[in-house]
């Protein structure tokens, strides 16, 4: 279920022509295989979750983390409406961080796709804060106690990606999923250094970016070397 409350770009039918959505579709098509477990961290209204569900098939599983109660409500509706041939989508109304507890989620003024935790700066396109609410947070490593580890991991958390990666060292070292991570100028270096230290090869995830350095990219793909 899509809503312009998430971002105005979703108030149209041709999502595959939007650069952000196309990147998600391309990543899913390239890396999600039948039977895979996929974690969607910062799922928003579920574009990637639903695409991954279709590709993973009935033997797969998609775990979608989204702390905004409005957006997670849309995700629950999409999960209920999925095809029987698609993977189940488990929705957790929760944010990812480097710890387990609670935090304050800022609801972005321009669109809920740019909501951000108060512990980070967020992104300029949020347009400010319309309201705030306290939400649950959990590290990705802590989720492994109750959930199967992913083969594919997507992270889009509006400035909190370094926190998410800090809380995922066991997952990176032992589970070793292929990763798509959106980064900003303030988090790119730490994400690259952490993934590199965990023996990941890192490439620019933006389409048509053969000549661009990963230090200029806003979307990184991490591929485990072993």
Distance, CA of 119 to chain centre: 18
pLDDT (0 to 100) of residue 213: 87
Chunk the chain into consecutive blocks of 10 residues (it has 226) and report each block's average pLDDT, rounded to whole numbers: 56 55 94 98 96 98 97 96 96 98 96 94 91 98 98 98 98 98 97 98 81 88 95
Indicate the domain borders of the chain.
8-93+145-224
Closest CA to 179 of 30, 18, 34: 30
Structure tokens at 84: 């029987």
Local structure of 63: helix, strand or coil: strand
CATH code of the region 8-93+145-224: 3.40.50.150
pLDDT (0 to 100) of residue 212: 75
Closest CA to 32 of 10, 52, 12, 7: 52
pTM to 2 decimal places: 0.92
pLDDT (0 to 100) of residue 14: 56
């Amino acid at each position: 279920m899509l809503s312009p409350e998430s971002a105005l770009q979703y108030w149209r039918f041709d999502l595959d022509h939007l650069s952000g959505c196309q990147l998600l579709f391309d990543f899913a098509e390239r890396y999600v295989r039948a039977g895979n477990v996929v974690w969607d961290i910062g799922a928003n209204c579920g574009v990637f979750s639903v695409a991954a569900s279709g590709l993973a098939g009935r033997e797969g599983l998609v775990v979608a983390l989204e702390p905004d109660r409005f957006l997670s409500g849309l995700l629950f509706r999409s999960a209920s409406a999925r095809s029987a041939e698609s993977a189940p989508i488990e929705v957790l109304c929760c944010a990812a961080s480097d710890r387990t507890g609670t935090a304050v989620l800022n609801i972005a003024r321009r669109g809920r796709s740019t909501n951000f935790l108060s512990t980070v700066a967020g992104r300029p396109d949020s347009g400010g804060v319309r309201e705030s609410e306290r939400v649950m947070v959990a590290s990705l490593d802590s989720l492994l106690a109750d959930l199967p580890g992913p083969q594919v991991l997507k992270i889009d958390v509006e400035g909190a990606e370094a926190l998410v990666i800090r809380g995922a060292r066991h997952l990176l070292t032992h589970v070793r999923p292929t990763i798509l991570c959106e980064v900003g100028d303030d988090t790119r270096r730490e994400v690259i250094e952490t993934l590199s230290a965990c023996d990941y090869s890192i490439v620019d995830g933006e389409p048509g970016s053969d000549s661009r350095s990963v230090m200029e990219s806003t979307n990184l793909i991490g591929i485990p070397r072993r």
